[in-house]
């Protein structure tokens, strides 16, 4: 499902389609770009770029150009000694130069792995890489406090995943009382949730036991209601969860630490800068739509946006005929992004509402390679028009396979976060491991710019890469390519 996916392709010189057809026979286009070192940023010369048929090497300033027959999609490979080999796909249009830039990661080290001394290797990750909630729910609710953690447990000596005979629990040593930092539970029932304080909307407490996931491959706790604040008030949107795995007798088999990102940094205030931004938002809505949200609020009646606007994040149908919340927000605001100088100087522009200038939710390896929200999601206009053209909010999102090659793509029709490795080195390994178990969540893909992310590769592998070392999971296997 590629609908709504914005491929990074830049037409340098616009082609006349008529000319392309009139030329007859083969028409050509170009793939061009530069290669740099992801860590040092410097241009890299002598890197081989190949499409499988022809190769070029980058020049002194790191640039290259390939002339290709138009109308096809090419799988390009970049390789050079001392760096990881990497792939990107690109389609070629007649007489157009499509830019494909590269940022190469230094090759893995040869350090001994800490997991060699462990029987159990525990993998854990957050599903989205960032969740948004609010400090104050006394005016309206966009999204409730909600975080989801996954775990997979590998028995290294048995070469097998463990999914029974163990209990897996989670806790947040520094986040034990969310009511200190959000008034969500004072209003939860008005927003349609019947939950006690410190319990999430699906019933998960701040510390508890995880249950087997829908695929029976690992363990999950959905909707944990943490906030970005520690109990002592410290602001930490990248707080740590402790995962504990015990056997049936209650003996601890293994523990690990994993980040659970959450932020309230929606900068509506950048433009709704009246003395009370939340009230301003309701008043504007009332003025334009004839609703009575502000008057209701003054009487103590609060509304969830999803009461009227359908929202797949919450599985809510809204009211018939009202557009979904994502469409309403991105479409209405797409021509208001220059409303104030603060908004204009916020980059990427998405950080006006998504967390954010301080939180920096986008921190994964694509960020380090120079990509931004727009390269994957498109701009505000695309966010809106893709929804109008049938993209489903929250369900149809960008794809790894949209930039990398077919060997490194999601399962068909499946989000990255739900996809499972299916071209592993051994067929017995297919269908067992979530992409995120090795690569971490979207927006925080290893290797990331945030030191809170790589706790597990550090613990098991002794570095901050994605999981690449076969012996992290198997006591005895020869290291080789992971995706076949
Ligand atoms: C067992 C760990 C593991 C799992 C699970 C895994 N990967 Fe990978 N992935 C790797 C390793 C190691 C590499 C480095 C290149 C290679 O071995 O192919 C990699 C490389 C990649 C790359 C970069 C390719 C490039 O062009 O440089 C992408 C994209 C990727 N994986 C996507 C996925 C997706 C999508 C899934 C799930 C369907 C997944 N991976 C599951 C270990 C894993
Ligand atoms: C907008 C295009 C784009 C998308 C979408 C994308 N990537 Fe990447 N990715 C890159 C670029 C560019 C690099 C830098 C290396 C390169 O130039 O190929 C990279 C590098 C990587 C690497 C390091 C590869 C290596 O061996 O150096 C991994 C791993 C990776 N991506 C995984 C993913 C995963 C997982 C997803 C999906 C969640 C994803 N990528 C989606 C463009 C993309
Ligand atoms: C880049 C500037 C900007 C940001 C950031 C921003 N808004 Fe707005 N918003 C506007 C402008 C301008 C209006 C129209 C004001 C008017 O003319 O009445 C508006 C109007 C609205 C309306 C009324 C729409 C209608 O027609 O009913 C809502 C609701 C709204 N904003 C919600 C939000 C929320 C929630 C956030 C934060 C998540 C936010 N806005 C962030 C600029 C912004
Ligand atoms: C009582 C029902 C109701 C509630 C609650 C509600 N809306 Fe709306 N909203 C509407 C209706 C009706 C429209 C106009 C028709 C449409 O957009 O489909 C609208 C329009 C909008 C628009 C303008 C869309 C456009 O393109 O002109 C924005 C933005 C918006 N709503 C945001 C919000 C946000 C944010 C919230 C929560 C703070 C919210 N709404 C709560 C009913 C509601
Ligand atoms: C004016 C505020 C605002 C701005 C600016 C904004 N967003 Fe959003 N966005 C929202 C809100 C509010 C939601 C949550 C809607 C919901 O709960 O479904 C959302 C949801 C999303 C979603 C998930 C829903 C979907 O359509 O799949 C994506 C993806 C997204 N935004 C991307 C972006 C990108 C990319 C940008 C920058 C080009 C951006 N947003 C800028 C307010 C904004
Ligand atoms: C390298 C590509 C890439 C970049 C860059 C990127 N995203 Fe995403 N984004 C994704 C993918 C892939 C998903 C779907 C993840 C999933 O759920 O499997 C996604 C999902 C989302 C969602 C829906 C919730 C979720 O996590 O599933 C929001 C909101 C969002 N992105 C906002 C942003 C914003 C804002 C930025 C920039 C600050 C950004 N993204 C940058 C690839 C990207
Ligand atoms: C993140 C953990 C993980 C990593 C890393 C990993 N594997 Fe596996 N492997 C598994 C799982 C899970 C199975 C399936 C075991 C089962 O059937 O329950 C498996 C099964 C296998 C099997 C078949 C079972 C056996 O006992 O021989 C082989 C061979 C294998 N893997 C080779 C590799 C190689 C080679 C690598 C490195 C390229 C690798 N694995 C990396 C988790 C991993």
Measured between alpha carbons, how far apart are the two ends of the chain, in Å? 22
Ligand 1 centroid to 421 CA: how many Å?
8
pLDDT per residue as tens digits for the range 59-71: 999 999 999 999 9
Query: Would you state the structure tokens that stand for residue 362, as one six-digit string?
Result: 């986008």
pLDDT per residue as tens digits for the range 266-295: 999 999 988 999 999 999 999 999 999 999
Rounded to an integer, what distance in angstroms lies between the CA atom of residue 141 and that of residue 134?
A: 8
Nearest CA to ligand 7 atom 15: 160
pLDDT of residue 273: 83
Asked if residues 355 and 262 have their Cβ atoms less than 8 Å apart, the reply is no
Nearest CA to ligand 2 atom 18: 86
Q: What angle do CA 417, 419, 425 make, to 5 degrees?
A: 130
pLDDT of residue 22: 41
Q: What percentage of residues in the chain have a pLDDT greater than 70?
A: 95
348 within ligand 6 shell (Cβ under 6 A): yes
Residue that wins the pLDDT comparison between 8 and 452: 452
**Ramachandran bin of 331, using left for φ above 0, alpha for ψ from -120 to 50, beta for the remaining angles:** alpha
Ligand 2 centroid to 404 CA: how many Å?
6
Mean pLDDT of all residues in 241-263? 98
Give the contacts of 21 (CB within 8 A, at least 6 positions apart): none
Ligand 1 centroid to 306 CA: how many Å?
36
Query: At 26, is the pLDDT very low, low, confident or very high (cuts 50, 70, 90)?
Result: confident
Mutate to test the pocket of ligand 6, among 1, 443, 448 (most ligand atoms within 8 A of CB): 443
Rounded to an integer, what distance in angstroms lies between the CA atom of residue 166 and that of residue 168?
A: 7
Q: Pick the ligand that lies closest to the CA of residue 141.
A: 4
pLDDT of residue 20: 42
Query: Would you state the structure tokens that stand for residue 105, as one six-digit string?
Result: 């990661």
Rounded to an integer, what distance in angstroms lies between the CA atom of residue 105 and that of residue 26?
A: 36
Asked if residues 336 and 271 have their Cβ atoms less than 8 Å apart, the reply is yes
Asked if residues 349 and 124 have their Cβ atoms less than 8 Å apart, the reply is no
Ligand 6 centroid to 373 CA: how many Å?
7
266 within ligand 3 shell (Cβ under 6 A): yes
Q: Pick the ligand that lies closest to the CA of residue 309.
A: 4
Would the pLDDT of 8 be above 50? no
Mutate to test the pocket of ligand 2, among 86, 414, 437 (most ligand atoms within 8 A of CB): 86
87 within ligand 1 shell (Cβ under 6 A): yes
pLDDT per residue as tens digits for the range 293-334: 999 999 999 999 999 999 999 999 999 999 999 999 999 999
Give the contacts of 315 (CB within 8 A, at least 6 positions apart): none
| Residue 350 Cα: closest atom of ligand 6 | 35
Give the contacts of 351 (CB within 8 A, at least 6 positions apart): 267, 357
pLDDT of residue 14: 34
Would the pLDDT of 411 be above 50? yes
pLDDT of residue 476: 87
Mean pLDDT of all residues in 109-138? 96
Ligand 5 centroid to 327 CA: how many Å?
8
Q: Is the dihedral of CA 443, 449, 452, 454 positive or negative?
A: positive
pLDDT per residue as tens digits for the range 441-464: 999 999 999 999 999 999 999 999
| Residue 85 Cα: closest atom of ligand 1 | 27
pLDDT of residue 143: 98
Average pLDDT, the chain: 94
Neighbours of 104 (CB within 10 A): 21
Rounded to an integer, what distance in angstroms lies between the CA atom of residue 61 and that of residue 58?
A: 8
Give the contacts of 250 (CB within 8 A, at least 6 positions apart): none
Query: At 24, is the pLDDT very low, low, confident or very high (cuts 50, 70, 90)?
Result: low
Would the pLDDT of 5 be above 70? no
């Amino acid at each position: 499902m590629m609908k709504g996916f914005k491929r990074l392709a830049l037409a340098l010189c616009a082609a006349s389609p008529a000319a392309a057809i009139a030329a007859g026979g083969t028409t050509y286009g170009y793939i061009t770009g530069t290669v740099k070192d992801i860590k040092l940023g410097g241009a890299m010369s002598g890197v081989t770029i190949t499409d499988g048929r022809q190769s070029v090497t980058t020049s002194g300033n790191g640039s290259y150009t390939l002339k290709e027959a138009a109308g096809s999609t090419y799988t390009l490979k970049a390789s050079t000694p001392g760096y990881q080999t990497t792939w990107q796909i690109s389609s070629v249009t007649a007489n157009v130069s499509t830019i494909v830039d590269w940022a190469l990661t230094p090759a893995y080290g040869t350090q001994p792995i800490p997991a060699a001394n462990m029987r159990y290797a525990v993998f854990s990750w957050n599903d989205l890489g960032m969740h948004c909630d609010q400090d104050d729910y006394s005016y309206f609710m966009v999204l409730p406090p909600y975080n989801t953690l996954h775990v997979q447990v590998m028995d290294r000596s048995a070469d097998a995943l463990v999914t029974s005979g163990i209990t897996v629990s989670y806790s947040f040593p520094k986040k034990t009382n969310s009511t200190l930092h959000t008034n969500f539970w004072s209003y939860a029932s008005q927003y349609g949730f019947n939950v006690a304080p410190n319990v999430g909307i699906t019933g998960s407490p701040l510390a508890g036991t995880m249950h087997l996931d829908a695929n029976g491959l690992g363990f999950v706790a959905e909707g944990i209601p943490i906030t970005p604040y520690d109990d002592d008030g410290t602001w930490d949107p990248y707080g740590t969860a402790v995962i504990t795995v015990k056997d049936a007798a209650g003996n601890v088999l293994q523990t690990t630490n994993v980040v659970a990102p959450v932020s309230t940094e929606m900068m509506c205030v950048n433009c709704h800068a009246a003395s009370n931004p939340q009230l301003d938002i309701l008043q504007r809505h009332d003025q334009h739509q004839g609703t009575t949200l502000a008057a209701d609020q003054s009487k103590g009646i609060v509304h969830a946006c999803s009461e009227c606007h359908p929202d797949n994040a919450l599985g809510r149908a809204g009211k018939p005929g009202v557009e979904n919340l994502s469409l309403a927000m991105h479409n209405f605001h797409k021509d208001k992004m220059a409303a104030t100088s603060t908004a204009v100087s916020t980059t990427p522009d998405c950080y006006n509402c998504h967390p954010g200038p301080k939180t920096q939710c986008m921190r994964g390896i694509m960020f380090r390679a120079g990509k931004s929200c727009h390269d994957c999601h498109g701009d505000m206009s695309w966010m809106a028009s893709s929804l109008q053209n049938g993209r489903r909010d929250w369900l149809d999102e960008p794809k790894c396979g949209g930039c990398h090659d077919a060997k490194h793509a999601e399962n068909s029709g499946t989000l990255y976060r739900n996809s499972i490795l299916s071209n592993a080195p051994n067929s017995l390994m297919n269908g067992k491991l979530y992409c995120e178990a090795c690569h971490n969540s979207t927006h925080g893909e290893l290797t990331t710019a945030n030191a809170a992310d790589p706790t597990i590769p550090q613990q098991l592998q002794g570095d901050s890469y994605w999981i690449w070392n076969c012996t992290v999971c198997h006591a005895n296997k020869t290291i080789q390519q992971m995706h076949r």
